[in-house]
Amino acid sequence: MPRKTMVEAIRDAMDVCMKRDDNVVVFGEDVGYFGGVFRCTQGLQQKYGSNRVFDTPINESGIVGAAVGMAAYGLRPCVEIQFADYMYPAYDQIVSEAARLRYRSNGQFIAPIVVRMPTGGGIFGGQTHSQSPEALFTHVSGLKTVVPSNPYDAKGLLISAIEDNDPVIFLEPKRLYNGPFDGHHERPVTPWARHALGEVPDGHYTVPLGKAAIRREGSAVTVLAYGTMVYVAEAAAEETSIDAEIIDLRTLLPYDLDTIVASVKKTGRCVVVHEATLTSGYGAELSALVQENCFYNLEAPVMRVTGWDTPYPHAQEWDYFPGPARVGRALKAVMEA
Amino acid sequence: MSESKALSFHVPAPAVRPGGTPDFSDVKISSAGEVERPPVDVAPEKIREHAFKIIRVLDRNSQAVGPWAGLLSDAELLEGLRHMMTLRAFDARMQMAQRQGKTSFYMQHMGEEAVSCAFRKALEKGDMNFPTYRQAGLLIADGYPMLDMMNQIYSNELDPMKGRQLPVMYSSREHGFFSISGNLATQYIQAVGWAMASAIKGDSRIAAGWIGDGSTAESDFHAALVFASTYKAPVVLNIVNNQWAISTFQGIARGGSGTFAARGLGFGIPALRVDGNDYPAVHAVAKWAVERARRNLGPTLVEYVTYRVGAHSTSDDPSAYRPKTESDGWPLGDPVLRLKNHLILRGVWSEERHKQAEAEIMSEVIAVQKEAETHGTLHTGPHPSARDMFEGVFEEMPPHLRRQRQQGGV
Ligand SMILES: Cc1ncc(C[n+]2csc(CCOP(=O)(O)OP(=O)(O)O)c2C)c(N)n1
C-alpha cells in the first residue's frame, strides 16, 4: 500500500473530494498557486483551476464568512486558516454563523464547510504558532471538531468532514505532518514511511466522525488522548511499563462516549492528556464525563496532564509541552492512588 | 526642537440633542434629476462624484425628473405604493402586538419602506438577499405570506423557525431572503461569498448584501469590500444610512469620511448615493447596480440616504438621545407620501383612493393577524414543542444531545 505523510494524506483527501464533487472548493491564504505554507494544497490549483482552488486576502473572517455564503448557495468549501492561532478573527463567523445557520433557519440554509487549521506545539512556534484552541470549538453547539493523529485517519476523517452536511473544524497537529512525535525532541523524527498508519489507500475511503480508536489495548489505566499526545502516551506507557489502554479520540465532538466508558469500566483508572491549557480545557469535559458515567468503577481520581495555564512560550517549549516524563509520572500516580 | 501642545481628543457629536431644534443643514441634498446616469460599464473612477451626491427622481412638486426617471409604469408604481403601505400597516400592528404582550420584541421600518420594497423589484427570482432586521419590505414586495411573518413574530405553532429565533429574524430561501442573524454585519461578507459561488458555477444569479450605517464600522464590512473588490463578485452592497444606530448618530461610524458610499472608492468599487425615500430613485439605482452585477461587471456600493423615524426597536426610547420632532425636519420627507403625491400628479391615484387603500390594507393585515393568533402568541396558545429545541443543531442528532433531550423529559 502507498505510504504518505500526513501532509500528503490531507492533500489526497481534498483531491479525492474535488474529483468526486464539483461543488468542493478550496481556498485560504497562500493555498492557491503556492500550495500552502505546509504544502497541503500543492498542485491542486494546477489540477482543478483557480475557479476551485484560490488564494484569498489575509482576512480570516472573510475566508470563513465567504465560505458560509458559498455553502448557503450550495457549494462545499474546504478552507484553510494558516495557523489555528489565527482563527480568532473568524471566530464570530464560526460561532455565530456557521454553527447556527441550520438551527436558526430551521434547515433552510446549511453550512457544510470544513475549516482546516494547523494546530499544536512542539515546533518552537512560540505564542502564535503553537496553540491548541479545540475547547473554543467543542463548547460551541452546532460544530463538529476533529483532530487526526496519523495519515490514514487524516485522509479518511477529512473526506468524512468534507462530505458531512455540518460545519467541521479540522485541527491538524502540525508536529505530526511529517512523522509521529512522542515528545522525545532530542531524538530524530521517524518518518511516516516507517509507521503502519502511514499506509494510506488510494482513492475514496472514510473514517467516520464521532468514533474513537484504541491505539494500545491495556488493562491498568485508560488514557484519553488525541493528536500528538497519542504518541506521547504510547511512549509513557512503554517507559513506565504500565499497561495503559490508549484511546485516540479522533473526533472531540461528537465524542465517542461508549468507547471511553467501556475502557474506564475495564481499567478503573483514567488519565486525560492534551497540549492545550488546563483550565476549562477539553480535558475538563472528558474528566466530568468519566466521573459521571464511571463513578462506581473508578479506583482513583481522574488525572489530567496538559499544557500549563500560560501562553505558549518559546524558549521553555519542553518545559511547557506535556512530554512522556510528565505523562509517565501521572500514570504512576494514578496507579498508586 | 519642535514645540508640542497638549493633544485633544475628538468625539463627534450630533448637531442637536433632546430639547434642541432639529437641524439638517449639514445634509447636502442634490436636486432631483441633477445627478447623471452613467452607463453600467462605466469605470469606477469616472463616477467618484456619485459617492457624494444624492440621486433623486421625485422633485418638490412630486414630478419625476432627470435621467433616472421613467423606468416604472403606473401599475408598477401603484404596486410599490401598496407594498410600502402594507409594510407600514404591518409594522403598526406588530408594534402594538408587542405592547400588548403578544410577543417580546419588534423592529419597525417607519420612514425606510421605500428602500427594501423598491430594491426587491429590481431583482429576479433566484437572486439572494442577505438582509438585516430592517428590510422586511424585501419579503412583502416578493409576496412572502404575511401570515408566516406573524407566526415567526409570535413564535407560535406555525413559526417557520420553530420558535428558535427572536422576532423579525425571518428566513426564506424560496423568497431569496437569507436567514437573519443577530450579529451585525456578518451577512455582508456572506453575500459576497454567495455571489462568488454563483460566479464560480457560471450561474446568472446575483446577491445583495445589506448593512446599516452603524454596522459599517464592523470588521466584516471591510472583509466584504475587500473580497468583493478582489474577486469582482456579482453583488450589490447596500448601506442603509438612516442616520442612527440605536442612540449613536451616524458621525460616530462615518468619522471624517465624506459619506458612507465614499468608503467604496478606496476599494475600486463604484459607489452611488441615492435618496432612500424616493421609491423610483431607489428602484432605478438598484436596477443599475443589479445589471452591473448580472453583466459580470462586478460589485456596486449603494448608500440609501434615509431617516429612522421610529424607535430603534420596541426596547428603545429615542427621546432620550434626539429631539422628539427630529423626523419632521428630515428634508427627504416620507417615502409613502412622496410616491402617493407623485401618483396623484400622474392622475392615477387620489386622496380618496389612498384613504380607501389604507383602510383596506389595514383590515387585510388585521385579518391575517387574527388568523395568526389562532395559532398562538408568545405566551398563550399553541407553541413550538420543547422537542423542536433539540432538532436541527446538526443534521442528525448526536448521542449527547439525545441524552440531554431525554433528561429534559421531552
Ligand atoms: C456584533 C453586534 N454588536 C452589537 C449589536 C447590538 N446592536 C443591535 S442593532 C445595533 C445598531 C445597528 O445600527 P445600524 O447598523 O445603523 O442599523 P439600524 O438599526 O439603524 O437599521 C446594535 C449596536 C449586535 N446586534 N451585534
Specify the pLDDT at position A1. Answer: 85
Average pLDDT over residues B50-55: 98
Is residue B214 in contact with ligand 1, taking CB distance under 6 Å?
Answer: yes
B329-341 confidence digits (pLDDT tens)? 999 999 999 999 9
- Looking only at the bridges linking them, the beta strands covering B248-249 and A53-55 are unpaired
C-alpha pair distances (Å), B80 with each of A217, B112, B151, B343, B345? 72, 13, 24, 11, 16
> CA of A106, closest CA in chain B: separation in Å?
5
> How far is A113 from A236, CA to CA, in rounded Å?
37
Cell numbers placing A286: 472528558
DSSP B29: -
Angle at the Cα of A321 from the Cα atoms of A315 and A325, rounded to 5 degrees: 115
Q: Do B190 and A61 touch (CB under 8 A)?
A: no
Beta bridge partners of A224: A247, A272
For the cut 70, the answer to whether the pLDDT of residue B21 exceeds it is yes
- From the list A67, A104, A255, the residue facing B179 with the nearest CB is A104
d(CA A68, nearest CA chain B) in Å: 6
Residue B308 beta carbon below 6 angstroms from any ligand 1 atom: yes
The parts of chain A modelled with pLDDT lower than 50 are none
Determine, for residues B398 and A254 on separate chains, whether the beta-carbon distance falls below 8 Å.
yes
Taking contacts as CB-CB distances below 8 angstroms, the residues of chain B near A93 are 186, 189, 220
Q: Is B213 in the pocket of ligand 1 (CB under 6 A)?
A: yes
List residues of A with catalytic annotation: 129
Enumerate the β-bridge partners of residue A3: A199
Across the interface, whether the CB atoms of B395 and A102 are under 8 A apart is answered yes
- Cβ pair B223:A72 closer than 8 A: no
Under 8 Å between Cβ of A266 and A217: no
Cβ proximity of A56 and A27 under 8 Å: yes
> Residue B25 — pLDDT band, cuts 50, 70, 90?
confident
Q: Are A130 and A94 in contact (CB under 8 A)?
A: no
Q: Is the CB of B131 under 6 A from ligand 1?
A: no
Out of B128, B196, B219, closest to residue A66 by CB: B196
- Over the stretch A206-265, which tens digit does the pLDDT of each residue have? 999 999 999 999 999 999 999 999 999 999 999 999 999 999 999 999 999 999 999 999
Q: Which residues of A touch B164 (CB under 8 A)?
A: 103-104, 106
Q: Per-residue confidence at B256, pLDDT binned at 50, 70, 90? A: confident
Give B184 Cα–ligand 1 centroid separation in angstroms. Answer: 6
Residue listed under C-alpha cell 485541527 = A171
Question: Nearest residue on chain A to B172, judged by CA atoms?
Answer: A108
- pLDDT of amino acid B1: 58
Q: What is the mean pLDDT of residues B24-53?
A: 95
Q: What's the gap in Å between A184 CA and the centre of ligand 1?
A: 52
pLDDT tens-digit map of A103-130: 999 999 999 999 999 999 999 999 999 9
3-state SS track over chain A = CCECCHHHHHHHHHHHHHHHCCCEEEEECCCCCCCCCCCCCCCHHHHHCCCCEEECCCCHHHHHHHHHHHHHHCCEEEEECCCHHHCHHHHHHHHHHHCCHHHHCCCCCCCCCEEEEEECCCCCCHHHCCCCCCHHHHCCCCCEEECCCCHHHHHHHHHHHHHCCCCEEEEEEHHHCCCCCCCCCCCCCCCHHHCHHHECCCCCCCCCCCCCEEEECCCCEEEEECCCHHHHHHHHHHHHCCCEEEEECCEEECCCHHHHHHHHHHHCCEEEEEEEECCCCHHHHHHHHHHHHHHHHCCCCCEEEEECCCCCCCCCHHHHCCCHHHHHHHHHHHHHC
Chain B residues with CB under 8 Å of A100 CB are 181
B181/A104 Cβ within 8 A: yes
CB spacing of B169 vs A104 below 8 angstroms: yes
Phi-psi region of B268 (alpha: psi -120 to 50; beta: other; left: phi over 0): left
Ligand 1 touching residue B303 (CB < 6 A): no
Q: Does the beta carbon of B212 lie inside 6 Å of ligand 1? A: yes
Q: What is the pLDDT of residue B3?
A: 82
C-alpha cell read off for B347: 392622475
Backbone angles phi, psi at A2, to 5 degrees: -65, 145
> Are β-strands A251-253 and A244-248 bridged in parallel, bridged antiparallel, or unpaired?
unpaired
The Å distance, Cα B248 to ligand 1 centre, comes to 10
Closest atom, ligand 1, to C-alpha of B246: 11
Name B268's Cβ contacts closer than 8 Å, sequence gap at least 6: B44, B45, B229
pLDDT digits (tens, 9 = 90+) for B142-180: 999 999 999 999 999 999 999 999 999 999 999 999 999
Determine the pLDDT at residue B26: 83
Report how far ligand 1's centroid is from the alpha carbon of A283 (Å). Answer: 37
The pTM for the full model equals 0.98
Q: And the C-alpha cell for A99? A: 454553527
- Residue B27 confidence (pLDDT): 86
Q: Residue B266: its chain A contacts at CB < 8 A? A: none
Determine the distance separating the centroid of ligand 1 and the alpha carbon of B188, expressed in angstroms: 13
